[in-house]
């Protein structure tokens, strides 16, 4: 056993989009800080951030129906949709800054314009969609959204979905052309190449096995070099746990009180991918439907055009499922070993409260290919089994914690930054809305962990993200400027962002 020791200002655990984003932000804010990364796999962006492991939707609430909730009085709460849209604009500004500063190149390799659509069937759902359209289209953030319940118009928008449709049920859709498809895997790899060029030590095939506080207030990581088998010790003043699903175990190892009474509930995903280029060519949009009763919000079915490896692809899903692994490359013991004395009650309560969800997920795992094809045929009535293959996507580990509103063992569907009181360590838990809001979430890490430096860093943050600290909804002129400049920098079509009057 070797005892090689390195000292860093910052250690990032995991080479996914979150560590990539935090590392890139910090390198711009304090170029002389020395940053080290440990990733257990052999490349960056191989877990949830990989293009085949997530849906690549630039989540801006343009099409996801679960971000607008119908209140008991029938009115719509659009606050979550506004929040997510504003957070996505933060990512768009930071990516544009990186392109304009020549820190990353060829944005078409990671982002493409693509219409985002919501599609519903049945009278009640059509009424809901119309109400949603009326509430959102008045807001500058959702400018350019169109609604139609006219089958001829829908045939123009989504021929693959409309042709051979036998049902006479009312059907309607909204469409907004300013949506995006984002290849988060490509972006993650680009950001790590950039970090390497800035002397960040990126160590692949290095698994972090333990995290301990040292007597002088630093953090010591016990890291196994998976090639040589050597066990190394590395210390840092600040540690970010960006291990994706692996973050729950790492947070527990740190022993910080803020990490107690928290657990994780893994939800797996499966996509169907079309292997027939003629079918792929007939569709050009991300079309989100409504989640089935009892289904968790992240399993809303959608039919998506994707751009992967510079090729157009067509994916349907994700079908949710249950697997006890916290990472796609994780262990079947992940769920069991995450139960500790301090979170036992929380986990048991969550288990009791979510029996129906667990049952639903297990049923989903058992679906045959033909049963999955039946769900796909709700979107493409004449879909042929031989045109579609199954691909296993990433794992999403939902946070379980005790909350005032939900009580013990409440399942959360958002992302959560957990940090030590002194800001010396932070972990990112949860997976939704995920990679799209990485810049906003990593700025939250910076705000929580570096409050003393924040004032000094603010001018640089504002240079990178002009809307920092401002509401874009309340500043339509700034929003228009940002839409225009980000579209130019990222090679997106400017005509997709009409001026809001």
Ligand X SMILES: Cc1cc2nc3c(=O)[nH]c(=O)nc-3n(C[C@H](O)[C@H](O)[C@H](O)COP(=O)(O)OP(=O)(O)OC[C@H]3O[C@@H](n4cnc5c(N)ncnc54)[C@H](O)[C@@H]3O)c2cc1C
Contacts to ligand X by CB under 6 A: 13-19, 38-41, 46-49, 53-57, 59, 184, 207-208, 242-244, 246, 250, 269, 318, 327, 393-396, 428, 431, 433-436
**Cβ-based nearer residue to ligand X, 40 or 372:** 40
CB of 191 to ligand X, least distance (A): 11
Residues linked to residue 224 through DSSP beta bridges, in sequence order: 207, 231
CB of 338 to ligand X, least distance (A): 13
Residue with tokens 């225009």: 484
CB of 413 to ligand X, least distance (A): 12
CB of 86 to ligand X, least distance (A): 15
Q: Which residues are within 8 A (CB) of 354 and not within 5 positions of it... i.e. 6 or more apart?
A: 265, 411
Query: Cβ-closest residue to ligand X?
Result: 16
Count the neighbouring beta carbons within 10 Å of the beta carbon of residue 329. Answer: 14
Handedness of CA 460, 201, 415, 344 (dihedral sign): negative
CB of 434 to ligand X, least distance (A): 3
**Cβ-based nearer residue to ligand X, 126 or 327:** 327
**Cβ-based nearer residue to ligand X, 348 or 392:** 392
Find, among 35, 41, 30, the residue nearest to 20 by Cα. 35
Handedness of CA 432, 256, 243, 353 (dihedral sign): negative
Q: How far apart are CA 443 and CA 417, in angstroms?
A: 11
CB of 88 to ligand X, least distance (A): 9
Residue with tokens 């160590």: 203
* Residue 156 structure tokens: 């123009």
**Cβ-based nearer residue to ligand X, 133 or 326:** 326
CB of 206 to ligand X, least distance (A): 6
Handedness of CA 111, 114, 118, 120 (dihedral sign): negative
Preceding amide of 318 cis, omega within 30: yes
Virtual CA dihedral for 139, 140, 143, 148, nearest 10 degrees?
A: 10
**Cβ-based nearer residue to ligand X, 246 or 263:** 246
Count the neighbouring beta carbons within 10 Å of the beta carbon of residue 4. Answer: 11
**Cβ-based nearer residue to ligand X, 428 or 465:** 428
Q: How far apart are CA 248 and CA 335, in angstroms?
A: 10
CB of 327 to ligand X, least distance (A): 6
CA distances (Å), origin 193, targets 32, 65, 198: 18, 36, 9
**Cβ-based nearer residue to ligand X, 345 or 362:** 362
**Cβ-based nearer residue to ligand X, 133 or 184:** 184
How far the first Cα of the chain sits from its last, in Å, is 67
Give the β-pairing of 286-288 and 116-121. Answer: parallel
CB of 73 to ligand X, least distance (A): 32
**Cβ-based nearer residue to ligand X, 61 or 479:** 61
* Residue 45 structure tokens: 């962006």
């Amino acid at each position: 056993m070797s005892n090689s020791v390195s000292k860093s200002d910052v250690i990032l655990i995991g080479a996914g989009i979150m560590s990539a984003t935090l590392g890139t932000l910090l390198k711009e804010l304090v170029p002389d800080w020395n940053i080290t990364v440990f990733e257990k796999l052999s490349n960056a962006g191989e877990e949830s951030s990989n293009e085949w492991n997530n849906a690549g939707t630039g989540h801006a609430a343009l099409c996801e129906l679960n971000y607008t909730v119908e209140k008991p009085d029938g009115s719509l709460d659009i606050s979550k949709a506004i929040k997510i849209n504003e957070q996505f604009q933060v990512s768009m500004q930071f990516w544009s800054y990186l392109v304009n500063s020549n820190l990353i190149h060829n944005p078409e390799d990671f982002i493409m314009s693509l219409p985002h659509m919501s599609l519903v069937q049945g009278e009640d759902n059509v009424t809901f969609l119309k109400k949603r359209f009326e509430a959102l289209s008045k807001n500058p953030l959702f400018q350019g959204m169109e609604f139609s319940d006219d089958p001829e118009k829908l045939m123009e928008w989504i021929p693959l979905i409309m042709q051979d449709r036998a049902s006479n049920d009312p059907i309607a859709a909204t469409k907004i052309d300013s949506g995006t498809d984002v290849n988060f895997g490509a972006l993650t790899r680009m950001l790590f190449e950039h970090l390497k060029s800035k002397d960040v030590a990126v160590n692949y095939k290095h698994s972090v096995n333990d995290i301990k506080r040292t007597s002088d207030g630093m953090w010591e990581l016990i890291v196994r070099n998976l090639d040589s088998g050597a066990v190394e010790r590395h210390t840092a003043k600040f540690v970010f746990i960006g291990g994706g699903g692996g973050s729950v175990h790492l947070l527990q190892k740190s022993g910080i009180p803020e990490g107690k009474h928290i657990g994780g509930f893994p939800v797996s995903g499966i996509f169907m991918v079309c292997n027939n280029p003629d079918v792929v060519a007939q569709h050009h949009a991300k079309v989100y439907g409504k989640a089935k009763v009892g289904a968790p919000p992240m399993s809303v079915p959608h039919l998506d055009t994707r751009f992967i490896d510079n090729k157009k692809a067509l994916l349907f899903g994700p079908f949710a499922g249950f697997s006890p692994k916290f990472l796609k490359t994780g262990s079947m013991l992940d769920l069991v070993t995450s139960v500790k004395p301090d979170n036992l009650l929380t986990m048991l309560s969550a288990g009791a409260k979510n029996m129906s969800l667990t049952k639903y997920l297990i049923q989903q795992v058992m679906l045959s290919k033909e049963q999955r094809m039946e769900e796909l045929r709700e979107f493409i009535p004449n879909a042929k089994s031989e045109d579609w293959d199954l691909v296993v996507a990433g794992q999403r580990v939902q946070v379980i914690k005790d909350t005032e509103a939900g009580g013990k063992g409440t399942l959360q569907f958002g992302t959560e930054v957990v940090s030590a009181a002194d800001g010396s360590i932070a972990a990112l838990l949860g997976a939704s809305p995920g990679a799209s809001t990485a810049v906003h979430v990593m700025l939250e890490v910076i705000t929580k962990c570096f409050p003393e430096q924040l004032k000094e860093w603010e001018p640089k943050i504002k240079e990178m993200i002009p809307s920092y600290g401002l509401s874009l909804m309340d500043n339509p002129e700034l929003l228009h400027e940002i839409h225009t400049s980000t579209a130019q920098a990222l090679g997106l079509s400017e005509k997709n962002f009409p001026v809001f009057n």
